[in-house]
Amino acid sequence: MQNTRRGVKERAAVLAACLLGGAVLAQSVGAQGVGMSSNWFDIKETRSQCLQRATAAVKAAGFTANFEVVGGSGIFADNEEYSVNFRCVTEKKMALVFVAGPDSDLADEYVGEISLGYAGK
């Protein structure tokens, strides 16, 4: 039971850190009001495989401007008005995607599109 609690606490800490990163991402989008959306899911891939799949999903969703792999585990990219942050946290067997821009409904759509693209659907 203790390992389960520790695992939950570790995941919560990772999610909190990523949410903070998402808040920073939202601030970088602009001051006129920001919509933000996120998703996380379990993965089994290696970091390299995760980044390959994430790259394909992010680019397929139209996020090609300022595309950058950061720290060997994350992707940042922009489209015209939105920014995406995709993180492969393979040591916790999870991936996270955040999208920020002027409209939260469209941010939700982008997160869904990227998530489905990552899953190969």
Does the global pTM surpass 0.85? no
User: Sorting pLDDT into bands at 50, 70 and 90, what band is 106?
Assistant: very high
Please write the tens of the pLDDT for every residue from 64-93: 999 999 999 999 999 999 999 999 999 999
Positive or negative, the Cα torsion across 11, 68, 115, 19?
positive
